Structure 1
Amino acid sequence: MKQLKKSQISRDKILNAAIAEFGTKSYENASINNICNDNNISKGLIYHYFKNKDELFLNCVKTCFDALVNYLSKEDFYQDDIQNSIEKYLDLRYRFFREYPYYSQIFFNALLQPPMHLKEQIKDLRNDFDALNISQYRKTICNLTLREGITEEEAIEYFFFFQEMFNGYFQSRVYESSDFNFLIEAHEVNLQKILNIILYGIAKEE
């Protein structure tokens, strides 16, 4: 076996083990020692491919976001009926998280309780996911008559503003709740409500 392929296999083994670790624990509770002990991987091998725990976590986050974007991009969840479009999008998200529970934990950890020193790096890793959301949101508002004085680009800005406020609200609740899975469910249920408020809050009154 060529060295390049062997290196890729080793790196993939470490990354998959890390996904299982971060996919069942918070960033704070996950550890490289656990990854080594649970998967018969030497610490030296991990540090050969990843500089530290932060780099390993960020690679898991990137893998998660890339997989989610790829999953959502395979289906066109845009429909003429705005409500149906939102429901289909959220159904696809729910299906993805149900099929890939490790990714679900990593996604919401990165979104709702990111390590403070990694927030900017995680924000960069969200770029493709955010671009996908913007694309679908733009298609949706094309079917709306916007209020006087609101441009399409301003509507997009409002979307991001409310999205960050919404996520920020749940970030603050992370430290008040002992059940992170319940918080995830509440986030997804209320996401549909906030999307409706955003959309119809910018629609022209007939």
Structure 2
Amino acid sequence: MFSKFFNLEKEKQDRIINAAIKEFAEKGYDRASTNEIVKEAGISKGLLFHYFQNKKQLFFFIFDYCYELVIDEFYKKINFQETDFFMRMRQAVIIKTEMLATYPDIFKFIQEAFLDESTEIKIEFDKKKAELTHINMEKVYEGIDFSKFREDVDLTKIIKIINWTFEKMSDEAMERARLSPTHEIDYQKIQAEAEEYFQVLTRCFYK
């Protein structure tokens, strides 16, 4: 679908991508201006819409580009030889925190995308979020030694409880960010809170 865009020289691709990331991250979907994007990228508006049909298509392209870059890097760093469930989850939290320092602009954009309430993208984006969450949960759990869990409690229910716990924790963090003027998320606080839950859940569900 975007073969014309990827045929551009890399330097021009990067200018367009970086300009779009900056605009969407700073202003959200509705307030983001394609005029500002082309100005920042140093291209004409006609050229932008030669590669992308409209702002919505550009937004989803940028989201997919950023998400794939981050998730590919994440899976390169995570140690799938670690089969302990909670150690694997700790790894995931630490790696994400480290990657924030490497890709601050990209994480800012992804964060704002997840907070965005624009009616133009919400239904499609909510569906995409659900699909990505399902895919990545399965991937992160790959190779886990589930024999460490208690046998007197249904394993499916244990996993659901753990997932619900961290989904709720994530929802609360996102809501705090939504209500904050700067939309900042305190990832160090989240990491500390996650560790508290890891310890409680380990005591509850491991043999």
CA distances 1:44-87 after superposition (whole Å, capped 9, x unpaired) = 22222223222211111111211122111213434255554333
1:77 aligns with 2:79: yes
**In structure 1, C-alpha distance between the alignment counterparts of 2:189 and 2:60, rounded to whole Å:** 23
Q: Which amino acid aligns with 2:34?
A: I
Aligned position for 2:8 = 9
Are residue 121 (structure 1) and residue 124 (structure 2) matched?
yes
Partner secondary structure for residue 26 of structure 1: helix
Work out the CA distance in 2 between the residues paired with 1:194 and 1:31.
42
Extract structure 1 runs of 4+ deviating beyond 6 A.
4-7
Aligned counterparts of 1:108 and 1:187: Cα–Cα separation in 2: 16
Asked whether the 8 Å contact 1:134–1:156 carries over to 2, the reply is no
Q: Deviations over 1:74-124 (max 9, x none)?
A: 134342555543332222212222111121112211233453542343344
Aligned length: 200
- TM-score of the pair, normalised by structure 2: 0.74
- 1:73 counterpart letter in structure 2: Y
Distance in 2 of aligned mates of 1:147 and 1:111? 37
Please give the root-mean-square deviation of Cα atoms over the aligned residues, in Å.
Answer: 3.3
Match in the other structure for 1:131: 135
Summarize the Cα distance change of 1:167–1:116 in structure 2 as closer, same or farther, 3 Å threshold: farther
Distance 1:139 1:100 in 2: 28
**Gapped regions of structure 2 (runs ≥ 5):** none
- For the 8 Å contact 1:82–1:140, the answer to whether it is kept is yes
Residue 21 of structure 1 contacts residue 30 of structure 1 at CA under 8 Å; is this kept in 2? yes
Per-residue deviation, 1:35 = 0.6
1:176 CA displacement: 2.3
Q: Residue deviations 1:113-170, cap 9 Å, x none?
A: 453542343344443564233332464561532363422x333433443343233323
- In 1, distance between residues paired with 2:87 and 2:147? 13
Matching residue's letter, 1:91: I
